[in-house]
Structure 1
Amino acid sequence: MDLFKAVVLGVLQGLTEFLPISSSAHLAIFPKFFGWEDPGAAFTAVVQIGTELAVVLYFWRDIWTIATGWLRGLVKPEAREALEWRMGWFVIVGSVPIVILGLLLQDLIDSEFRNLWVIGTTLIVLGVVLGIAERVGRKTRPIESLTWGHAVLFGLAQAAALVPGVSRSGATISMGLFLGYERAAATRYAFLLAIPAVVGAGLFSLKDIPGGENEYGTVPTLVGTVVSFVIGLAVIHWLLRYVSTRSYAPFVAYRIALGSLVLILAGAGVITAGVA
């Protein structure tokens, strides 16, 4: 049974990781709907590795170009004029906030942050924020115009996603829209920025998988991770095509509807808000 649950949650992770609707919120909410045990923060962190591997495969040319350009810049001063050198540093700098806060807030991430009152509220609030960003953002800046200051702001937005319900992609995309970046540019950079943070968190949480009371165990977790990789790869391709011509309005409506439903059901006692 745990294997079946892991497959279902792997599909859910793959479908929701790249959409601005919070995959960690869905992995916390939907087990409550079905009366399953909470998979736990460790399961969530590890299964996200699958979707980030999908990012690595999909964007491997971009990653290779940035990585090699950054390494060249370490030894060749003339290479530091290239965009790849700056992009490498932007990803590193943008990853610092979530690393620091992730270590400082680890206990809260594993417990209080997974409370459905928190998750329902953040789904609604950040849905409104995304809606405002979609409406007021100029959407004219290409990713090539990224600055050090904006890289830090992107990183701070990503760090907010330590709270389930915020959404890593939703927070960083919202910040990008507020700063005037094109939808596709903000989305693409959000994907690249997430790689170090998510892979690092997943590897850090591997030690917590075997034997934990709220986790499914090693084999189901690995299966869920593989499933999330396959589904996530398809979702990346679809989303990048979608945002090039359409708005994030449907995701805003979905976030507010789901968050409201969670708060109503928790308030009525139909589902338990706390972590089991």
Structure 2
Amino acid sequence: MSIIEAIIIGIIQGATEFLPISSSGHLVLLPEIFQMTSPDLTLIGLVHAGTLLAVLIYFRQDLWEIVKAVLRDLSLHQPLASKEAKLGWLIVVGSIPVALIGLPFAGFFEDVFGSPRVAAGFLLFTALLLVLGERALSGKKTTADMTWTDTLIIGLFQALALFPGVSRSGSTIVGGLSRGLDRPTAARFSFLLGIPAILGAGLQAILEIFTVDAQFSGSVYVVSFVAAAVSGYACIHWLLTWVKNHTLYGFAAYVALFSILYLIISSFGG
């Protein structure tokens, strides 16, 4: 893999992890379309670590306040006394569905549904989800108004992203919209809820590193990691600004067009 390919892989992961257009779908389809070298397990683990670093840095103040509040309220035997502590527990509860389904069955989903054409088909499902989410937008709830039922349902939407081609951020934003959250709140909670999921996926990939031999040079891994972190940070900031005044229909149109074009090209290519 060349340095340019490594940068492209990092940018793809960083951007598509947080934009509602599916990182798994793009990492499967773009190398296929442009005949790029496929990333090995080491590279996959490192670009996940790059996106994790991006979200941790971007939300560092929020996370620090959440951790302090959880520890303080637990020491007072009042675990839900503050809104920051409640938000922390909402993230934990919302992560339960993907942990219960994803950890034991992640390999099954990759093996059964991991072909490029199937990923392209699930991109169409992502487009449909985004359209339905916009049509469901009706509320003004913030994270302070969220219930345990809200976060469990959003967590179930996150579990849909186990299918390659289904966007994790897209599905969780749509889950939030369906529960009456406004668009900026749904996007912000999606990113916070994604931290345990991205951490789990990254750790799983990194653990697999030790079972295989690295295929590429150290410089390839470093530039991919940096590209994923920088592009991820930029896309978090951009999306949180964008959704204040714009809909998700543009992302829906993009993933639908991308999917259809790939399916047409692959059909002619056999």
Query: Normalising by the residue count of structure 2, what TM-score does the alignment of the two structures yield?
Result: 0.92
Please state if 1:117 is matched with 2:111.
no
Gaps spanning 5+ residues in structure 1: where? 271-276
Contact kept, 8 Å, 1:46 with 1:203, in 2: the verdict is no
Please state if 1:61 is matched with 2:61.
yes
Aligned in 2, Cα 1:250/1:71: closer, same or farther, shift over 3 Å? same
Contact kept, 8 Å, 2:131 with 2:248, in 1: the verdict is yes
The equivalent of 2:4 in structure 1 is 4
Q: What letter corresponds to residue 248 of structure 1 in structure 2?
A: L
Q: CA deviation at 1:188?
A: 0.2
Query: Which digits, 9 at most, give the CA deviation of each residue in 1:132-152, with x for residues without a partner?
Result: 210232041112111111111
The equivalent of 1:258 in structure 2 is 258
Aligned in 2, Cα 1:169/1:214: closer, same or farther, shift over 3 Å? farther
Q: CA deviation at 1:127?
A: 0.7
CA distance in 1, matches of 2:28, 2:145: 37
Q: What letter corresponds to residue 187 of structure 1 in structure 2?
A: A
Aligned in 2, Cα 1:149/1:80: closer, same or farther, shift over 3 Å? same
Aligned in 2, Cα 1:137/1:232: closer, same or farther, shift over 3 Å? same
Q: What letter corresponds to residue 88 of structure 1 in structure 2?
A: G
Contact kept, 8 Å, 1:138 with 1:177, in 2: the verdict is yes
CA distance in 1, matches of 2:168, 2:215: 22
CA distance in 2, matches of 1:223, 1:210: 20
Q: What does 1:1-276 correspond to in 2, within 5 Å?
A: 1-39=1-39, 43-78=43-78, 80-209=80-209, 212=212, 216=216, 219-269=219-269
Aligned in 2, Cα 1:52/1:183: closer, same or farther, shift over 3 Å? same
Aligned in 2, Cα 1:215/1:16: closer, same or farther, shift over 3 Å? farther
| Identical positions, percent | 37
Query: Normalising by the residue count of structure 1, what TM-score does the alignment of the two structures yield?
Result: 0.90
CA distance in 2, matches of 1:216, 1:118: 28
- Greater shift in the superposed pair: 252-261 or 199-208: 199-208
Gaps spanning 5+ residues in structure 2: where? none
Q: CA deviation at 1:185?
A: 0.2
Give SS of 2:269's match. coil
- Greater shift in the superposed pair: 204-213 or 223-232: 204-213
Aligned in 2, Cα 1:34/1:210: closer, same or farther, shift over 3 Å? farther
Q: CA deviation at 1:80?
A: 2.7
Contact kept, 8 Å, 1:31 with 1:37, in 2: the verdict is yes
CA distance in 1, matches of 2:164, 2:208: 19
Query: Which digits, 9 at most, give the CA deviation of each residue in 1:143-194, with x for residues without a partner?
Result: 2111111111111111111112111100000111111111000000000001
Q: What letter corresponds to residue 117 of structure 2 in structure 1?
A: W
